[in-house]
């Protein structure tokens, strides 16, 4: 009888050990969790981007309304300041709800509303607020320029627990 050094057929079978399978499953799980986290983060960024675009549009629309009122002569230059200024203007102080412009065609004045502005999806912009402030512009001799004012429009909105603000600054003068 001849002795063979061959291992039994059972021992010669190839494959993965239990430890290799567990390690491969752990690596796969970590990879899938990373992809899922990136997916949810990208969805949140898309939502932020949409809200940022709406805020930019709201600020630009408000500035265009102010310039249109000046250009048509619907309001004298003295109206372009807040109601609490030394010479009271028509703009309400502080953040105001994003209501539609009233009869004067300018947002953030006393005649706004009652309906909310609507976004591109047709839903009311209930989580948006607007503020417009006017600042005097100084001449080189540090006196106030009576013909020019700085306009700062801020649009504030909430996304979850996060409050974000978009601000746009421009200048307006008595000249058209």
**Closest C-alpha to 154, from 80, 53, 56:** 56
Q: 0.75 cut: is pTM over it?
A: no
| CB of 70 closer than 8 Å to CB of 77 | yes
Residue-level pLDDT at 8: 58
| CB of 63 closer than 8 Å to CB of 106 | no
Query: Which residue do the tokens 């020019």 mark?
Result: 148
- 91 assigned to some structural domain: yes
For residue 74, the enclosing domain spans 18-173
- 7 assigned to some structural domain: no
Contacts of 91 (CB under 8 A, 6+ apart): 80, 81, 82, 83, 106, 108, 109, 132, 134
- 1 assigned to some structural domain: no
- 149 assigned to some structural domain: yes
- 11 assigned to some structural domain: no
Residue-level pLDDT at 130: 94
Quote the CA–CA distance of 158 and 126 in Å, as a whole number: 10
Query: Which residue do the tokens 């039994």 mark?
Result: 8
| CB of 78 closer than 8 Å to CB of 62 | no
Q: How many distinct structural domains can be found in the chain?
A: 1
| CB of 105 closer than 8 Å to CB of 122 | no
CB atoms within 10 A of CB 140: 6
- 135 assigned to some structural domain: yes
Per-residue tens of pLDDT for the chain, all 176 residues: 565 565 555 556 678 888 989 999 999 999 999 999 998 888 877 777 888 888 999 999 999 999 999 999 888 999 999 998 888 899 999 999 988 888 888 889 988 888 888 887 888 888 899 999 999 999 999 999 999 999 999 999 988 788 999 999 999 999 87
């Amino acid at each position: 009888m001849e002795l063979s050094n061959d291992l039994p057929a059972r021992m010669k079978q190839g494959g993965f050990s239990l430890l290799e399978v567990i390690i491969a499953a752990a690596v796969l799980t970590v990879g899938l969790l990373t992809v899922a986290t990136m997916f949810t983060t990208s969805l949140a960024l898309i939502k932020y981007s949409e809200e940022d675009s709406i805020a930019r549009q709201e600020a630009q629309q408000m500035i265009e309304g102010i310039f249109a009122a000046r250009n048509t002569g619907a309001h004298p230059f003295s109206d372009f300041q807040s109601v609490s200024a030394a010479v009271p203007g028509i703009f309400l102080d502080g953040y105001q709800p994003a209501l539609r412009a009233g009869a004067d065609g300018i947002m953030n004045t006393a005649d706004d509303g009652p309906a909310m502005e609507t976004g591109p999806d047709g839903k009311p912009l209930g989580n948006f607020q607007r503020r417009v402030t006017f600042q005097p512009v100084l001449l080189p001799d540090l006196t106030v320029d009576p013909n020019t004012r700085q306009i700062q429009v801020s649009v504030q909105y909430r996304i979850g627990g996060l409050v974000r603000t978009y601000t746009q600054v421009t200048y307006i003068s008595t000249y058209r």
